[in-house]
Structure 1
Amino acid sequence: MRRRSFLGLVLAVTAPATALASGSSEPAETKKRAGGASYIVIQTLAATTNKGGGRRGVLTVECGLDVQDAALRARVEQNLPRLRAAYYQTVQTYAAGLPPATAPNADFLAQNLQRQTDAIVGKPGAKLLLGAILVN
């Protein structure tokens, strides 16, 4: 019985201290974004692929856009839904034609995704950056 009271007291005392320690004193606006101010994160793209023996697999692509020009960055952010749809369609088409037990060609995929970026944005300046390409 004393053990339960002691544990309850310890939790009651340490919970506010851990909440204060994990909180940040600076506002969210001043925190540095991952990749810098010119980097726009694209959500992870996933598509199904065929593995050996008739099994299904998943091709996952992580990417982002580096846009130095502020006006072009605003235009890219407005077109993010269209860009994501075009990227997903490109990755899905590529994954469907990927032979079993073959590593994906990162150069070919990056070239196609960059072509989609330039077509949707309308002018060059948005550089596509690939993070990781996984086949599971």
Structure 2
Amino acid sequence: MRRALTLLPLILASALMVLPAPALANSGKKEEKGPAVTYFALQPLTAVALRRDGRRGVLTLEAGIEAKDPKVMERAQQSQPRLRAAFAQVLMTYAAGMRRGDPPDVDYLSREMQKTADRVLGKPGARVLIGSALMN
């Protein structure tokens, strides 16, 4: 019995340590916002293209949107499905006209996707960033 009583303070102290610290420290205070989001990545875009040997291949493009203005960023995040659809259309059109064996022209794709993003969002302010373009 004595041993149980001597361990009681230790058990209570360990139980208090298990509680999340932010819950204890922030009780009654306003929540602070973190840094503003300025970039989000889109899911990879794909299109069918002809490979060097004449068989069908897949052109995969990774892209993201960067916007410093919070209003433009919010608009871009809300328009994500429309952006993906417009980017996929640009990529499919480009892949259909590619010559066999040519590597993807990332500069051309970047320019066309930037024009498309400006058109979809209604104004400039968001930058389209290309991560990679792979032909498989």
TM-score of the alignment, normalized to the shorter chain, above 0.5: yes
Unmatched segments (≥5 aa) in structure 2: 1-21, 23-33
Alignment of 1:39-118 (within 5 A): 39-118=39-118
Alignment of 1:13-28 (within 5 A): none
Is 1:123 aligned with 2:129? no
CA deviation vs aligned residue, 1:26-79 (integer Å, no higher than 9, x gap): 9xxxxx9xxx82101111001010113330111000000001111111111111
Q: Secondary structure at the match of 2:44?
A: strand
Matches of 2:53 and 2:120, distance apart in 1: 38
Q: Which amino acid counterpart does residue 90 of structure 1 have in structure 2?
A: V
CA-atom RMSD in angstroms: 2.1
What is the CA distance between 1:104 and its match in structure 2?
Answer: 1.0
Q: Secondary structure at the match of 2:53?
A: helix
1:37 corresponding residue in structure 2: 37
1:9 corresponding residue in structure 2: none
Over 2 Å off, 4+ runs: none
Matches of 2:76 and 2:111, distance apart in 1: 18
Q: Give identity over the alignment, percent.
A: 41
TM-score (ref. length: structure 2)? 0.72
1:13 corresponding residue in structure 2: none
TM-score (ref. length: structure 1)? 0.72
Quick check: which has more Rg, 1 or 2? 2
What is the CA distance between 1:106 and its match in structure 2?
Answer: 0.7
1:7 corresponding residue in structure 2: none
Q: Which amino acid counterpart does residue 45 of structure 1 have in structure 2?
A: L
What is the CA distance between 1:101 and its match in structure 2?
Answer: 0.7
Matches of 2:79 and 2:65, distance apart in 1: 12
What is the CA distance between 1:105 and its match in structure 2?
Answer: 0.8
